[in-house]
Amino acid sequence: MSSKNEDEYFARRDAELVNKTRETQANLRQQIEREKAKNKCPRCGGDLRTVQLHKVEVDICPEGHGTWLDAGELELIMKHEEPGLLRRVFEDVVSGIRGTKRL
């Protein structure tokens, strides 16, 4: 015959194991979803195509839904871009993201 304390201990332990298993499964599902979404257009779900722009690999949607840059890639492209309208637009975008205003 088991005591009340033993029952409580095993119930608590079982609940912890169930919670840990659920957390592990949720993390695995999230990792799988991230892997599925890699190199996919967030708008149409199509495969993104990688192209070189000033020696920087950028991802573009072949359906024309956008161009995606990884962290730091915009700054690398701007270093190679000639002064002009496009560079000013990029600088405005970067300053807007960072919360700074270019004068």
Smallest CA-to-CA distance from 43 within 69, 66, 68 is with 66
User: pLDDT tens digit string along 37-77?
Assistant: 778 888 888 888 888 877 788 888 888 888 888 888 877 77
DSSP code at position 99: T
| Residue 1 predicted with pLDDT over 60 | no
Residue 81 included in any domain:
yes
pLDDT at 95 over 50: yes
Q: Is residue 57 part of a domain?
A: yes
Spatial separation of the C-alpha atoms in residues 22 and 29, rounded to whole Å: 10
Question: Distance between the two ends of the chain, CA-based, in angstroms?
Answer: 80
Higher-pLDDT residue of 65 and 83 is: 65
Give how many domains the chain has, as a whole number: 1
Predicted local distance difference test score (pLDDT) of residue 75: 78
Which residue range forms the structural domain that includes residue 71?
49-98
Is 89 part of a structural domain of the chain?
Answer: yes
Task: Give residue 23's pLDDT band: very low, low, confident or very high (50, 70, 90).
Answer: very high
Question: Do 63 and 44 touch, CB atoms closer than 8 A?
Answer: yes
Which pLDDT belongs to residue 103?
47
CB 87 within 8 Å of CB 74: no
